[in-house]
Amino acid sequence: MDLPDTPEKRVKLYIRLTLAASLFGIAVGFYLNGVREQDTSAFDIFAFAVRGILIGAAFWYFEIFWVRGPRGKRLRALPYGGRLAVKVIAYVVLIELGFLVGEAIFDPESALGLFTAFADQFTFR
């Protein structure tokens, strides 16, 4: 995919792709609720859209402004396998962080429970 040359056009592309990610988040939400045979409320649609925006914003920022920008020169210089490994790891981390932030926004008690369970693994008693 060729990126636009000007920063203004890159920002417009970033915004369009992030908003498209919100639609993808809604579609994933409908699918997940359908698999679980749950009804989908307006709040669920909103929550999945926000999670899609969070994940899409991080994902597309990394791809457009980091990997394909001047900061990604060393990453682009790697051999294909190394570049692929770094990008896959970064994408997994960004997606999981997006899910975690979405969980913290819409269900803070559950997110706090996940955090304390994770923190308990690293405390020495």
**What is the tally of structural domains in the chain?**
1
Is 2 part of any domain? no
- The residue length of the chain stands at 125
Asked if residues 30 and 40 have their Cβ atoms less than 8 Å apart, the reply is yes
Asked whether residue 70 is domain-assigned, the answer is: yes
The greatest distance separating any two alpha carbons of the chain, rounded to the nearest whole angstrom, comes to: 56
Structural domain of 113: 7-120
Encode pLDDT of 112-122 as tens digits.
887 787 777 77
The residue ranking higher by pLDDT, 70 or 52, is 52
pLDDT score at 91: 94
The confidence score (pLDDT) of residue 56 equals 93
